[in-house]
Amino acid sequence: MRFMIIQNWFGSGYNERRSNIFAAQPNLGHKAIAELEKYVQVVVLTQNIDGLHQKAGSSEVLELHGSIVKISVQFVIIKIK
């Protein structure tokens, strides 16, 4: 039996994007929302996948589309007859 391993599309193409995101810094909006937590309960619901709300200090962030920061490379193994 032979096996073929296919790396999914999160592999090498996303490493460059992830590097850019790791270098990005929160803007004043991210920081203002994090600062608001000192006075009231805040839950951030975001479509962003960059983790900048967490980087700014927000503690309760719900990411609708997941996080590019937390992805893992997965492999598909196909059995060839």
Active site residues: 65
Residue linked to tokens 């590019």: 68
Burial 42-67 (b: 16+ CB within 10 A, else e): bebebebbbbbbbbbebeebebeeee
